[in-house]
Amino acid sequence: MSAQTTVDREVATRVFAQEFNDASFSFTESDDEQAPVYLLLPTGAKANRVFITGTLTEKEDVGDDSEYWRGRVSDSTGTFFVYAGQYQPEAAAKLQDTETPTRIAVVGKPRTYERDDGSVSVSIRPEQITEIDQQARQKWTNLTAKRTAERLEKHASFLDTADDLAEGEAIAAYKYSKMAVDEYDSSLETYQRIVLEALEATGEIDEVGTISRESQDETSSSIDSDPSESGENSSPSDSGMGAAHEPFPDS
């Protein structure tokens, strides 16, 4: 009997299109040829897999010798580009078959590409694509805003204390925040505004900027058990992505 090898998946990071497209630096953490590749987010976190939702507004087969599908997925902050070909047959078939416009959710790997002019474009190689309803879309927006706010809070803490930290302390506690400061000139105010607008749109913040008590009560338990960022080994199927209309019951 052959031994079975279990491959642990990286936790999928929730991210809005604005921040995703502002990210241009990718890296590995070892010299191993099979080492995972991470995208460095401007809010000071790494992402090997991402979890996004939006409206599929366009799709096109851009392949030459074989089918290679490109999809444009728009959220309230910008547009994600999703590419799927022969090595992602299920995702490619889903892109081909899905009508536009349709709300979809995507879990996949971020990829960077340097153009001839030196600029970097970022896209997603999807592992799974599913159609969702408006309720699931709002839930994703709500929790993605909260996750982004958590990253911003930690990143701001690093900026406030960076001068007082020894080099070893900074690397240990704020490794990716330090990398983000070194690699990006992005203004954190942009992402703070995105968070506030997202929470206002989902009713989490009222007109004077206070968090809705009703919304806190309704979302507190689901925040604690978010399968995309809980730290547990979860896959799209684990979080219910096979369902057509409520694919993320806990996310």
One DSSP character per residue, 175-198 reads: HHHHHHHHH----HHHHHHHHHHH
Over range 78-82, report the average pLDDT: 98
Residue 220 has pLDDT above 50, yes or no: no
Decide if 127 contacts 88 (C-beta within 8 A): yes
- Residue 174's pLDDT band, with cuts at 50, 70 and 90, is confident
Structure tokens at 220: 């507190």
Q: Which domains does the chain have, with CATH numbers?
A: 13-202 (2.40.50.140)
- Residue 150's pLDDT band, with cuts at 50, 70 and 90, is very high
Residue 7 has pLDDT above 70, yes or no: no
Average pLDDT of the chain, as a whole number: 82
Instruction: Give the model's pLDDT for residue 170.
Output: 57
Residue 25 has pLDDT above 80, yes or no: yes
Q: List CB contacts of 72: < 8 A, sequence separation 6 or more.
A: 56, 57, 58, 59, 79, 80, 81, 82
Instruction: Give the model's pLDDT for residue 155.
Output: 92
The span from the CA of 241 to the CA of 235, in Å, is 9
Over range 217-225, report the average pLDDT: 37
Residue 85 has pLDDT above 80, yes or no: yes
**What is the pTM (predicted TM-score) of this model?**
0.80
Instruction: Give the model's pLDDT for residue 161.
Output: 80
Instruction: Give the model's pLDDT for residue 166.
Output: 62
Residue 203 region by backbone torsions, left for phi larger than 0, else alpha for psi between -120 and 50, else beta: left
Decide if 93 contacts 119 (C-beta within 8 A): no
CB-count burial class (<10 Å; 0-12, 13-18, 19+) for 214:
exposed
